[in-house]
Structures are given as C-alpha cells and as structure tokens.
Structure 1
Amino acid sequence: MNRRNFLLAVTGVTLALAASVAAHNGDETIPGFDEAAASGVPVLVHVTAPWCEVCQAQKPIVAKLVGIGDFARMKKFDVDFDTQKEILQRYRVQMQSTMIIFKDGKEIDRQVGETDPAVIEAFLRKAL
C-alpha cells in the first residue's frame, strides 16, 4: 500500500469513528443511564458474564459497597458481556470484568479484572 492510500484509509476510519461518536447523544441502551448521568450522581457500569469467575468474585464486593455509606448515591448498571454488544462497542470494552466509573456524566476511570475489595473501593471513591 502506498503512502497516499494509507493516509486516505486512516482518514476514512478516523472520520467514521468521529461521526459515530458525534451521532450519539445518550445511552438509551442502558435504561436509566442518561437520567443518572444528567443528575450528577456517580455512576458505575459493570460489565460481567455469568461464566466469568473474576466477575463472580467482583459482584458481592460491588454489591456490598454500592448503595450504602459513602456510595449511597452511586447508581450501578450491569452490562452482560455476551448479549449487550452495542454497549461494549460504544464504551470500547474488550473484556468482561470491566468496571467504568462516571462523574458528572463523564467517564473518569476504568478497571479490568480487579478482585481486591480495598482496590475496588478506592476505585469507586474516584467517582465521589
């Protein structure tokens, strides 16, 4: 491939990605996400799969934290890795056991494969 064709291909891909991001003004594929993000509450999107051992280890840790104490206002949304592919693409998620936190409607951090309760708690605190 010559340099000109390469640059044209890269430009085309870049424009296509920019158009898909610009066309998206919300995330109605996760019911309640837009409302929670707009309200200013911290939001956690947790991508799991029923066959994932790491996900199964994360779930009780997250359940214990979210909704109580400092995390009482945090909203949690579960995304199934096997069936909700549109959401995975939108958020560039490549692995189950991914946690993404949002503050004021903007992604501030993500974490993959973590099962240490103290590390998960510190991660969630970033959204407060």
Structure 2
Amino acid sequence: MNTRMVSALAAGFVGMIALATTTGAAELKPYDKASFQAAQQKNQPIVVDVWASWCPTCKAQEPIIKNLASSPDFSELTIFRVDFDTQKDVVRTFGAQSQSTLIAFKGKTETSRSVGDTSAQKIEALFRSTVKN
C-alpha cells in the first residue's frame, strides 16, 4: 500500500469517527473490564454483545446493532463486544452459553438478555430496556 492510499484510509476512518461523534451514536467498543465497570458505576445504559467472527447469527445481528447504535435514542448507550473465542473468562463471567448473546444493563442491573435473536424489533426492545427509568 502506498503512502497516499494509507493517508486516504486514515482520513476516511477519522471522518467516520467524527460522524459517529456528531450524530449522537452509541459507542461501540471491545470489552474491557475497567471500561465496563466505569460505565456501570455511572449508571449508563450498556449492551454486551457476545460475538464470534464465524457465527452466521452474529453476522445477521451486526447490521441491526449498528443501525440501532446510530439512532439518537441510544446516544448514551455503550456496546461492549466480547469475543466468544478469545475471551472465554469474560463469556463465563456473563453466564453466556453461546455466541450471539446480547445482554442489556442499566448500570449494574441486567434488564434483558437474548440468545440467537435476529428480529430487529426484539433487539430494539432489548436496547430500549437499558434506557427505561
């Protein structure tokens, strides 16, 4: 890859980050314990996405999750992605039995959980459970 191509890719990536920040999108990030605990302490809405790259159900959930994450309704939401194959200790901590598990929290309180769901309406309801009072 030449320098010009790398610069163009970097500029595009920075632009995508700026767009996500300015449009009030949810934050999507890899799971790390410290960030998850900090979000819980602040009583923030959280979704944990237990995911695997080889999982067809996870691939079906991904565009639904990204679409919901872009909604202003979920601008305060943080979505933590847990890799089912490489973060087995975290998977066990959350009591997830399989990939394609979504777990919703409002702070430290679990509000909803689904496994293998690819219904946009049901995933949206799970997301909404994080922002209810």
Q: Normalising to structure 1: TM-score of the pair?
A: 0.74
1:117 aligns with 2:99: no
Unaligned runs of 5+ in 2: 1-30
Distance 2:93 2:116 in 1: 20
1:78 aligns with 2:92: no
Task: State the shift of 1:104 in Å.
Answer: 2.2
Q: Which runs of 4+ in 1 moved over 6 A?
A: none
Change (3 A) 1:29 1:73: closer
SS at match of 1:32: helix
For 1:109, the aligned partner's letter is S
Identity of aligned residues (%): 40
Distance 1:101 1:113 in 2: 14
Distance 1:96 1:30 in 2: 19
Answer with 1 or 2: which has the greater Rg: 1
Match of 1:64 among 53, 63, 67: 67
Distance 1:113 1:80 in 2: 15
Aligned Cα root-mean-square deviation (Å): 1.5
For 1:93, the aligned partner's letter is A
Kindly tell me the number of residue pairs found equivalent between the two proteins.
101
Unaligned runs of 5+ in 1: 1-27
Structure 1 residues 52-61 or 100-109, which shifts more?
Answer: 100-109
Task: State the shift of 1:67 in Å.
Answer: 4.7
Distance 1:110 1:122 in 2: 10
Equivalences for 1:1-128 in 2 at 5 Å? 29-128=32-131
